Amino acid sequence: MITSKNIREAMGSAPTVSQLKAEILELIDEVLALNLTASLDEGSDVAWFVYAIAYDRTGLVIPAVGAGKCWAKFLARRQVWEGIFAQHGLVYHPRYTAGGTNFNRPEKVSRAIDLARQEQG
């Protein structure tokens, strides 16, 4: 069972209210566009941040109901990031992708690799 603690630990850095707000706005956009599949995905992302913030601020460990899709997406993306970092001789940690985990955006990959190089040498 996924819990708020699992999510927070997986993130590697403290979640912010601005991240939650961005996810809520994405959810609203998809709902207004009547895109059911994307709405469900964005709803899972919102749940992810709510649970992470709840644990981070209160230490409350609760089942992360509704965050399963986001958890699966996180695990899949983490595998890709680990491969990208391995190609550069680096070890991946979620703190390197705190600015976003979309590995299809070259600027996010460059930023993450640069952060890791600064830290790992």
Nearest to 43 by CA among 30, 62, 33, 52: 30
* CA terminus-to-terminus distance, the chain: 37
Greater pLDDT, 39 or 105: 39
For the chain, give the percent of residues with pLDDT over 70. Answer: 100
Give me the domain span that covers residue 59: 4-120
pLDDT per residue over 7-16, tens digit each?
A: 888 887 788 8
Q: Which amino acid is residue 67, in one-letter code? A: A
pLDDT per residue over 36-71, tens digit each?
A: 999 999 999 999 889 999 999 999 999 989 888 888
Whether residue 21 has pLDDT greater than 80: yes
Alpha-carbon distance of 23 to 110, in angstroms, equals: 23
Q: What is the number of domains present in the chain? A: 1
Q: Which amino acid is residue 16, in one-letter code? A: T
- For position 1, what pLDDT does the model report? 83
pTM higher than 0.85 for the full model?
Answer: no
- For position 80, what pLDDT does the model report? 94
